[in-house]
Chain A
């Protein structure tokens, strides 16, 4: 570590680490130096020149945002130096020359750094008498970001955040001098999933968000600090509500989690709970679905459960507390292990470990890593903020490798090893062999092995959802990490996934990753819960198969729509048709309307108190930005109500009591080292010549992004199939042409994208884009053998997906 440095600012001494910027040191003393271009998460620019300070012994003034501290440095800010105060006034006069005085109609008015600092540090009056520069206003950079060039002070925060943080250099300064403007290349659209951050860090009202334009004044808003519930990245956000409606979401600074950023989905997809499709009263099927009271529905459902065999499917929306209540309800009241929150089925020790030992890898570990192996994850699309952290690590010199069937947006900072879907375990095994045998660095596996070995415990292995397709892939990755001492994490995508796994919304695992089948581990849970069923239950696809075979009577659908979410649409339909009673706990009915027998309205995340755990396993508190609409209730309360209707209850009736009970069960525990069977399993065998694989992109037809029209207009894509040039050539499909995909489950015609962006033999189709529900092509997993055929453009009348070949 470098020596700390002591300096004096405005007569006060302070000691800071070497390399600290003067402006940061002043902040620590509570001295506010005005600034526009400076941002703590961006590299110093020195562009706006507002933060002048005087340094003793130096003739010129210095910008404190670019000057690092030196021992014995004597700094005077505007507080003690008249020269500095006058220089700052002069600079503000310059900045305001061409800035329009349209504050009364500007979205930023009232929360504008330029307005605030002009008031605090400005000259008050301008000596400028000439006409101001004018521009057409505003110019849309994308459907969600608007640029008003007159208001821009050209601090370049927006272009720098795109360059330094997301690497999406869509916008840039154009022209020069007083004619300089932020702009975008002709015909381009600001298609970055992080574009909203530019709006938030704009120090004036030059960049505005389409959904927030002219919607509110800052003093109209009531703001609540909460956590984004769109994915397991766990961005800290501020939810702004105006008259009971969420109108804006902003990122909050948290260096442990999201730094200062959030993705566009988190920022713009907030209107789903306010859509007319939302159902906020309990419903029960009589002659149709009829509104009734909670008590009536719960009593009816309790009746079905007393006599019937129950299976529970859960989605990714549940808060940690809901998951715990659901896990306990299933085991102690409904007496079943047939519950599952997953869509892919990892099993194995990696999953147990993830359930038992949270925080084995943190954002900070990623940021400080020297080597990162990202296996089976498209970080930008699945955990966007983790993607930013990996980029940050790469900027700090980390070697990053991506082992994935499709090229990811880390391509400019990481070496990609494109492996056929399902062959990840095999590729990882080759890395391990390279470690053992000292394979030369010439091969990608050799380079990964060398980087991991060199970094030791400063290496991170991140196992993503694609590794859960092969039963052993995640365990191979874990074994590899253990071999080199690297930190290891199994990543979940959806916000509720980490909490659900830890709470045991899982057929074979109880809270804390304790195995149902292991008497000793089960006993630890029974000590708190009482007796639980002893044989592992069915996983999600097993529950569907059982329901389809009429082996289950009551099907609970908690925040899940099997028709859309599970990787076999046909099976999901049969399950819904054949189960006797379907109980839906959700925000809306959607496609489940014809099937639901009972509906219990749940509260949305923005209306909730509770916790969500990040992919790291870090629980973060959510606070209600407004009360639940109508009669909607938090899921855990609904589940407690059902348990009480069944008789025994769950033993808690408040979040505090729930947490107190759960705490010892969810405390991190060591998982004894057990060998896994991967060594014996051998390389995976694929029967099909070509494999279709799919995963959801960031912005798709997911329920929680409903209503975010600007976001969808900007980022949602038409369905497509990404092919390797070899495969395309073999079947005579060209880039931009149409291709027919035929699997055992069905077929579809989509536009082909041909390029070296997928592994040979692999065909990527996004999971849930408008016009194609990829699960119509799936047979229980997210990969499936596929036949390709060149096709003609489908006519408008013909739907893209034609189901029912099998």
Chain B
């Protein structure tokens, strides 16, 4: 097993880097110090030259994003770190923050300096109570040691960072919904254009970056763009934190160069499929990326290669399913997630995910009909790219990929009138009874339900 280049997780084995002193001992805040000696434009140029692409899923070049921010609007500019990590299968950002919060703060400070912003926000997923507390403490330390505040590292540059805890909505990871939520509005996506770089937070130019992306920035400033660009494939340079979970021997976060084949991640790092069973399906980047199969073991994990294979890098959250897992049940659970997390703003997402969820529930429970498969096929087409934001496209991935690679399994559920894995369902030879009606989504009406805080925090 080769020892790979580790950048953002290099100090994961050292528990002291969670503190300011430990982080500085490990070379922390050197990148920021160097950035402050450059002009903001030079910082952007450096990040551009490194070829760093956003790690949040879309893979947009980070330096280019920063360069879009206009400086002549007379409005303030803002940096927002997107720490609303909520996609099923993802836990990379969480560990980055829990172990080395100052790395994120340093990245934020460099980004803010580059776009001449004096106020930055960290949008923290509501359920992340512990990582939020870690950040809270790190922020206090950063202020205490003059990393943040009136004079950043003794320079004339002023920066404040505000930690904002969300209320627990996947949609708030979508950048415009995040901004709405941050402004105190309902977390629903907004019309683009105007893009956040032009009119973002409080209608001012705003850069929104994923936590992992920002964590790379200090290292680029410290070691130079050329160093970073030399790692991994040319078009997707650098490393990526892959969060592997599911049926593997050693689930966890593994930082590997972009373009590492999935086989290496699975077999060399994660210890192979649990119990030595056969690999059945895997998602390369969370539930919103189409599932792949054992045929795709040698696909390199980078933006382009995965696209060619019919999926996406997404967040690098690899979920592994083995031969004992029911794909229909897996798809049902994924679609249920999207139905639950759909913000409700647009019709195809709100109604489409809900309908598809109920169809999958029906098939899994043994009440599927042969006509359900073409119907699912059709509904996926009616949903893909029809929503207001990409959440809906993510919901299509489990539908399409399960139909594409596991159609037989769906057909077996329907033909046998039960789930062949769990055995649940009325089974062959019985007359299909109407499915018991699921409880209507009960929602607080006017003045009826108040949720105690203890429940919210549980």
Residue ranges of A at the interface with B (Cβ–Cβ < 8 Å): 44-50, 52, 59-61, 66, 87, 90-91, 93-95, 97-98, 127-128, 130-131, 133-136, 139, 141, 153-154, 156, 172-181, 183-188
Contacts and interface: CB of A to CB of B under 8 A. Distances in A.
Contacts of A46: 191, 346, 388
Given A46-B388, A134-B440, A135-B440, A180 B382 contact: no
24 contacts: A44-B191, A47-B346, A49-B388, A50-B347, A60-B385, A66-B191, A90-B348, A90-B386, A91-B348, A93-B382, A173-B188, A174-B444, A175-B344, A175-B444, A176-B169, A177-B339, A177-B342, A178-B342, A178-B350, A178-B354, A178-B441, A180-B350, A183-B444, A183-B445
A177 B355 contact: no
A173 B362 CA distance: 30
Q: Which of B354, B378, B443, B447 has its CB near the most chain A CB atoms (within 10 A)?
A: B443
A179 B386 contact: no
Given A172-B186, A173-B186, A174-B443, A52 B386 contact: yes
Contacts of A139: 445-446
A38 to B, nearest CB: 12
Q: Which interface class (under 10, 10 to 19, 20 to 34, 35 or more) fits B?
A: 35 or more
A176 B341 CA distance: 7
Contacts of B13: none
Interface string B315-352: 00000000000000000000000011111111110111
B448 interface: yes
The 10 closest A-B pairs by CB, nearest first: A180-B344, A179-B441, A90-B382, A186-B447, A178-B354, A94-B351, A177-B342, A175-B443, A60-B385, A176-B344
Contacts of A60: 385-386
A47 B441 contact: no
A131 B437 contact: yes
Contacts of B169: 176
Nearest to A36: B347
Contacts of A187: 447
Name the prevailing secondary structure of the A interface residues: loop
Contacts of B350: 94, 154, 177-178, 180
Nearest to A68: B193
Nearest to A181: B443
Contact of A177 (B340, B382, B447): B340
B353 interface: yes
A52 B347 CA distance: 12
Given A44-B191, A49-B388, A177 B353 contact: yes
User: Which of B345, B348, B442 has most chain A Cβ within 10 Å?
Assistant: B345
A581 to B, nearest CB: 56
Interface string B349-389: 01111110010001000000000000100100010011110
B339 A178 contact: yes
Interface in B405-457: 435, 437, 440-448, 450
Contacts of A179: 344, 441-443
Interface of B: 169, 171, 186, 188, 191, 339-348, 350-355, 358, 362, 375, 378, 382, 385-388, 435, 437, 440-448, 450
A177 B343 contact: yes
A299 B153 CA distance: 97
Given A49-B386, A135-B440, A94 B342 contact: no
Given A95-B351, A173-B344, A130 B362 contact: yes
A673 B141 CA distance: 71
Contacts of B440: 133-135
Contacts of B437: 131
Nearest to B339: A177
Nearest to B441: A179
Contacts of A188: 446
A259 B445 CA distance: 33
Contact of A128 (B186, B339, B342, B355): B355
A186 B347 contact: no
B454 to A, nearest CB: 19
A87 B450 CA distance: 40
A141 B446 contact: yes
Contacts of A141: 446
Contact of A87 (B353, B386, B387): B386
Contacts of B442: 179
A47 B354 CA distance: 17
A47 B386 contact: no
A59 B384 CA distance: 12
Given A87-B382, A179-B442, 8 more contacts: A90-B378, A94-B352, A94-B355, A97-B351, A130-B435, A173-B186, A177-B339, A177-B344
A45 B442 CA distance: 27
A61 B445 CA distance: 36
Contacts of A156: 345
A91 B347 contact: yes
Contact of B355 (A97, A153, A181, A184): A97
Contact of B387 (A49, A127, A130, A186): A49
Q: Which of A61, A94, A134, A174 has the most CB of B within 10 A?
A: A94
Nearest to B186: A173
A604 B358 CA distance: 57
A519 B51 CA distance: 87
Nearest to B371: A127
A61 B355 contact: no
A734 to B, nearest CB: 28
A95 B349 CA distance: 11
A47 B342 CA distance: 13
A184 B446 contact: yes
Nearest to A155: B347
A301 B441 CA distance: 71
A178 to B, nearest CB: 4
B345 A98 contact: no
A184 B448 CA distance: 11
B457 to A, nearest CB: 19
Contact of A130 (B188, B346, B358, B386): B358
A94 B385 contact: no
Contact of A186 (B171, B346, B448): B448
